[in-house]
Structure 1
Amino acid sequence: MFSAHHFHHLPSFSKKMAFFTASYYSSFTIIATFAVLALFTGSSSAQLSTDFYSKSCPKVFSTVQSVVKNSISVERRLGASLLRLHFHDCFVNGCDGSVLLDDTDSFTGEKTAGPNNRSIRGFKVVDDIKAAVEKACPGVVSCADILAIASRDSVVTLGGPDWDVKVGRRDSKTASFSDANSGVIPPPTSTLSNLINRFQAKGLSAKDMVALSGAHTIGQARCISFRDRIYNETNIDSSFAKTRQSQCPRNTGGRKNLAPLDLQTPTAFDNKYFNNLLDQKGLLHSDQILYDGGSTDSLVETYSKNDKTFDEDFVTAIIKMGDIDPLTGSSGEIRKNCRKPN
């Protein structure tokens, strides 16, 4: 850019013109920089707010909470399932409810993609929430927002932190089987660099990634996703491996058998997941890799010692995750039925 000494030998008028030109280009650069930043930070997420439904559906939060609490009282595991639906929705083309769309004869959605097939669940609870919300205020609340609210209520119901959920998302009219299969959702075999890269691609830091991995303090995994680890990896507690092997045979059978992701308190949202990692009792390869001599070791140690820090960082991260490329304004629609476009 121009600097002061460029003007020193110019006639007065030329000096003024040169100064004006330099100022113009400086202003232009600043404006352009802000425009680029807006593109990368997802300007539409700025349209989300915690009071979006304050006039149009003031009972939305209490309505969702009631259904979530009742469902979890019947089956504790559903809390983890609802939280996972929100994550799998947001990572594929943004938080737009696309993961909820059923396949039809002419359309293949995301439910049967590799990371989701026979793995994501809780759709009946989402249907129940939607029915209750539609009764309270028809055609107002999106399925994408229902997932965001239900995630918070699941965490709180299982003893975790509370936060104000930003809402105002709209629902997509379609879904993408190929995008769900493209690796944007990190598999349980992920390396640390793969995990960090996948999250950074969504605007989430390595710290956000470790904090969100702490959601594995609740829920279960299928034998097929941890079989290789319990038989072939060395960074695993031997008695823990043997216990898991008893339910997950080496070669055949048991592929659907479940094991808790958190050995100590599998239905309570706490920081015990991180204690497990210190003891080499991470169930998935992608769990233990967070504490295996790499760049995230110190974060795992911090969270294992301080549940308040974990709670705060988890809340920060999940709010950021909920901001990933939402549909707002006149984009998308408000689905009447979360399983199909209007």
Structure 2
Amino acid sequence: MKVSILIFLCFLPFSFGSLSVGFYASTCPLAENVVGDVVQARFIEDSSITAGLLRMHFHDCFVQGCDASILIDPVPAKNRTSEKMANPNLTIRGFDIIDDAKNILETVCPSTVSCADIIALATRDAVALSGGPTYLVPTGRRDGLLSDPSQVNLPGPNHNVSEALSFFTAVGLTLDDMVTLLGAHTVGFAHCNFFQRRLANPDPTLDPTFRTSLAQQCGALSINKNPTVFLEPNTPDLFDNQYYRQILKSKGVLNIDQQLALDPSSKGLVSNYSVDTKGFREKFADAMIKMGNIGVLVGNDGEIRKNCRAFNIPI
């Protein structure tokens, strides 16, 4: 199994910036196996969870670094908010996967493996199970002590390339990183409200036949009805480069997807990835490792949560 091979390799420690591959080799050698088994069990039930975990990891890292602040639950009775209450995070899925892995790890090696590392490992394993690249995840992150919804400011589906890029450069990522990471849209789906305005006021950059298909799938939106459509309908459960081929045909579901294929700064890389599967896979792995290193807490900073949904000492 791919995940098992990766875990074996991770027992050979080497450094990547402030993190290191094989960080838990001596303190919790079963850590990556535990995460991999939990992810595989869920993937068998629901292969779309790959997209859910990718989105969780992205939303976590882009706020105040990869510190698992997105996992904290709000406590209404004590008027405590959290990032989960921010609008972009209301449709995040997969929290229970992180919980399941954490519960097992707290039995095997208490207060050792961070929730932030579990997110990064779970995402890696889900990508591999979907047929995507396998890569080594540097670990050693610690969990943050703040989860504030007012700090959640993320690139949105209606942004153009320059607008979206400003969010990526703010956290040390490049245009190439952005085009590569958005390739994650090759799996998963989007709620219709995220692109409804492209249908209501026909977007000339959207293929007319494809627009009709999207409109039929979405129907009339309401408070209780907000359907989903695949971001890449040809192979929605397979991590491949079909996303880039789709947007080159003017069939990008989200505005930012379509703009990647139109903007002079990004369309060249889109074209390259549409024909270079190997190149995309390698660059995606590199970009994920780079993203996973954003603003990490290490050493004595932060904490190792016992429950991923709550700080060890409630505030």
TM-score (norm 2): 0.91
| Corresponding residue for residue 315 of structure 1 | 285
- Structure 2 residue 118 is matched with structure 1 residue 146: yes
Change (3 A) 1:93 1:252: same
Greater CA deviation, 53-62 or 128-137?
128-137
- 1:275-312 deviation per Cα after TM superposition (whole angstroms, max 9, x unaligned): 10011111101111101142100000000001111111
| CA displacement, residues 168-222 of structure 1 (integer Å, 9 cap, x when unaligned) | 0000122111011xx3x10111111011111011111100000000000111100
How many residues matched?
295
Amino acid at match of 1:106: N
Matched AA of 1:88: H
Contact 1:45 1:324 in 2 (8 A): no
Output the CA distance in 2 between the equivalents of 1:189 and 1:49: 36
Gaps of 5+ in 2: 1-14
Pairing partner for 1:47 from 18, 36, 61: 18
Contact 1:83 1:150 in 2 (8 A): no
Does 1:170 pair with 2:139? no
3-state secondary structure, aligned to 2:25: coil
User: 1: distance between equivalents of 2:83 and 2:198?
Assistant: 27
Structure-2 residue corresponding to 1:218: 187
**Equivalent residue runs for 1:219-298 within 5 Å:** 219-232=188-201, 233-249=203-219, 252=222, 255-298=225-268
Is 1:92 paired with 2:66?
no
Change beyond 3 A, Cα 1:304–1:254:
farther
- For the residues of structure 2 that align with 1:294 and 1:252, how far apart are their CA atoms? 37
Q: Which moved more, 1:77-86 or 1:154-163?
A: 77-86
Provide the alpha-carbon RMSD of the alignment.
Answer: 1.5
Is contact 1:230-1:236 (8 Å) kept?
no
Q: 2:169 aligns with which of 161, 183, 200?
A: 200
Determine what percentage of the aligned residue pairs are the same residue. 43
Partner of 2:82: 109
Gaps of 5+ in 1: 1-43
Distance of 1:81 and 1:251 partners within structure 2: 23
CA displacement, residues 235-260 of structure 1 (integer Å, 9 cap, x when unaligned): 11111111110122366467520101
Given that residues 183 and 244 in structure 2 are in contact (C-alpha distance below 8 angstroms), is that contact kept between their aligned partners in structure 1?
yes
| TM-score normalised by the chain length of structure 1 | 0.84
* Cα deviation, residue 45, structure 1: 7.3
Which residue number in structure 2 is paired with residue 59 of structure 1? 30
Q: Which one-letter code corresponds to 2:134 in the other structure?
A: D
8 Å contact from structure 2 (residues 234, 242) kept in 1: yes
What is aligned with 1:76? Answer: 47
2:11 matched to which residue of 1? none
User: Aligned letter for 1:120?
Assistant: I
Contact 1:223 1:254 in 2 (8 A): no
Following superposition, the deviation at residue 136 of structure 1 comes to 2.1
Counterpart CA distance in 1 for 2:18 and 2:221 is: 51
Looking at structure 2, the residues matched to 52 and 129 of structure 1 have their Cα atoms a distance apart, in angstroms, of 17
**Segments of 4+ moved more than 4 angstroms:** 250-255
User: More deviation in 128-137 or 261-270?
Assistant: 128-137
Aligned to 1:299: 269
Taking the aligned partners of 1:123 and 1:293, their CA distance within structure 2 comes to 35
Question: Does structure 1 residue 327 correspond to structure 2 residue 297?
Answer: yes
- The letter of the residue matching 2:33 is S
Hey, what does 2:156 align to over in structure 1? 187
**Secondary structure of the equivalent of 1:326?**
coil
Deviation at 1:139, TM superposition (A): 0.9
- Of 149, 152, 157, the residue aligned with 2:129 is 157
CA contact (8 A) 1:281 1:288 kept: yes
The answer to whether the Cα contact below 8 Å between 1:271 and 1:303 also exists between their aligned partners in 2 is yes
> Is the partner of 1:247 in helix, strand or coil?
helix
Q: Tell whether the 8 Å contact from 1:231 to 1:241 is kept in structure 2 after alignment.
A: no
Instruction: Give CA-to-partner distance per residue, 1:61-113, whole Å, 9 cap, x none.
Output: 11111110110110111111111111100001000000000001331100110
Paired residue type of 1:339: R
Q: Distance in 1 between matches of 2:35 and 2:95?
A: 14
Q: Which has the higher Rg, Structure 1 or Structure 2?
A: 1
Deviates more, 1:286-295 or 1:157-166: 286-295
Find the aligned partners of 2:225 and 2:255 in 1 and give their Cα distance.
16
Task: List per-residue Cα deviations over 1:12-50 (Å, max 9, x = no partner).
Answer: xxxxxxxxxxxxxxxxxxxxxxxxxxxxxxxx9732100
Contact 2:193 2:221 in 1 (8 A): no
